[in-house]
Each structure stands twice: as structure tokens, then as C-alpha cells.
Amino acid sequence: MISHIWTVVWRDWMVLKRRLGRYILSRMVSPIFYLVAFGWGLGRNMTMTHGSYLDFIVPGIIALNSMNISFNAVGTPVNMSRLYHKTLEEYLLAPISAISYVIGKILSGILRGIISSAVIVVLATIFGAKLSLNGWFIVTLILNCAIFAALGLVAALYMNSHEEMSNFNIYILTPMSFLCATFFLPNQLPGLLHWIIEILPLTQASYALRQTSTSGGFPETALGIMIIYFVGLVWIGTRKMKQLQD
């Protein structure tokens, strides 16, 4: 099983390795805009409980960026591979288990999410943000990437056109990007909306990244909720892979 998982990662690494420089450069664009707009522009004269607004939003930017990158690193290629290039058949015809493919793709998504997050950490430091990187921060970040890579896979296996994938981005990821404790704390939102936002995985990731990067504490509730999301999505993805035989 491990060799099959590694094979799935190997394939994605071969593709990424060829364009690693371009990939890193392209990953710098939106974080720079976020840091300039919200860190320097909007946040220059704002302070939060534990420091500057820049320090506050950097964990949020890392959370939302790793979400987008991990989701799209898996979702778009798998959807294209299933519907257009038909390369998913190569895995379906091979003597490997469905879960090997699912775990392999999630690891590929984590890899891209981590590279992208490392770019943001470097940029944020250049912009003057104070960020404490520690073990729990990295665990939370990896788990966030894993959740959204798994969500990307599930979406790719269920959505039956490229347009449906785009709609998933528009209706699910974009609202989360702005509402899930990335740029502001959601406790001032109206009751029901606040409750919904609280249980979303990106909110928990933002809380946990912020907590670990400032106090270095163990974000047990957030990690617990995130693990439930992760296990659920892996189960759904594996089940759907098995059902791809029509």
C-alpha cells in the first residue's frame, strides 16, 4: 500500500518538479496583494488584542491560501483526469486500492499547500509580521491542507463538469475565504451565521494557526474538529473511488 501511495505522489511530484520555479513565483502573487492591502493599507493603524493587524491576518492568510492551493492542486487535475483526459482509468485498472489513490492525492495536495504556505511565511516576515512557527502550527497547517485536498478530491469525483468545479469554488471556498476568521473574528456576526461559520474547518484552522503562532498552545478543540472533517472526507472519497465502476 505504501508503495502505491508513493507512486501517486511520485507522479504529481514529477509534474510539479518541472515547473517548481514558476509555481513558487505564481504562489507569491495573491499573498503579496493580501499583505499590501490588509497589512499595510487597511491594517497600518489597526491593532488587535495580541498585536498588530498584520500579525492577526497572517495566520488567516496562510489558512485561506493553503485551503485554496490544496483544494485546487487536487480538485482540478483529478476532475480533468476523470472527465477529459481519462487518465484516472490508469489507476482504476491498476491493482491498487482506492484508499492508496486517495491518500496519495491528499499528500500531493499537502505538498503544494506547504510550499505555498512557506512562501507566505517568508513574505510576511519581509513585511514585518511577527510569527512564531512551532510544531503545533505545522501540524495544524498540514491538517488544513489535508482537509482541503481531500475535499478537492471528493468534489472532483462528484462534479460532472469543469463548470461545476468552478461553482464549487465560487459557492463554497470563496465565502469561506472571507468569513472563516481569516480577516476578522466571526463572533460579531449574527447568531445563526456565526454558529455555521464556527463549525467550518477553515474557521478552526484560522483559530488554531493564530493560537499556535502567538501563544504556542495546543489547539485541541480545533484540531479535534479538523480531524473529524479529515476522516469523513477520506471515507467519502474512498467510497466514491470504489463506486466509479458504473
Partner 1 sequence: MIEVSGLTKQFDVRTVLNCLNLSIDTGEIFGLLGPNGAGKTTTIRLLTMLTKPSGGIIRINGLSFEKNEQQIKSLLGIVPQHLNLDIELTARENLELHGRLHGIPTAERNRRITELLEFVELTDRSGDMVQTFSGGMKRRLMIARALLHRPKVLFLDEPTVGLDPQVRRRIWELVRHLASEGMTVLLTTHYIEEAQALCQRVAIIDKGHLIALDTPQTLCQGLGEYVVDWEENEQRHNKFFPNRVDAASYSASLTTTVIIRRSNLEDVFVELTGRKVVER
Nearer to partner 1, 56 or 101 (CB): 101
Q: How many residues bind partner 1 (CB under 8 A)?
A: 22
Q: Could you give the CA distance from residue 45 to residue 124 in angstroms, rounded to a whole number?
A: 17
Quick one: which segment of 89-97, 161-169, 183-191, 192-200 binds partner 1 (CB under 8 A)? 89-97
Closest to 54 measured CA to CA, from 71, 42, 72, 70: 42
- Binding status of residue 220 toward partner 1 by CB under 8 A: no
Grid coordinates standing for 73? 492542486
- Among the listed ranges 81-89, 125-133, 146-154, 187-195, the one in contact with partner 1 (CB under 8 A) is 81-89
96: contact with partner 1 by CB under 8 A: yes
Q: Should residue 245 be labelled a site residue for partner 1 when binding is judged by CB under 8 A?
A: yes
For the CA atoms of 192, 198, 201, 205, what is the dihedral angle to 10 degrees? 150
List, as one string, the DSSP characters of 51-97. EEHHHHHHHHHHHHHHHHHHHHHHHHHHHHHHHTS-THHHHHHSS--
Which residue among 53, 91, 137, 229 contacts partner 1 (CB under 8 A)?
Answer: 91
Near partner 1 by CB under 8 A: residue from 47, 87, 161, 174: 87
Smallest gap from Cβ 85 to partner 1, in A, equals 7
Residue type (1 letter), 87:
T
Give the amino acid at 168.
F
Do 109 and 78 form a contact (C-beta atoms < 8 A)?
A: no
User: Closest separation between CB of residue 110 and partner 1, Å?
Assistant: 19
4 scored as a contact of partner 1 (CB under 8 A):
yes
Name the site residues for partner 1 (rule: CB under 8 A). Answer: 3-4, 6-7, 10-11, 14-15, 85-87, 89-97, 245-246
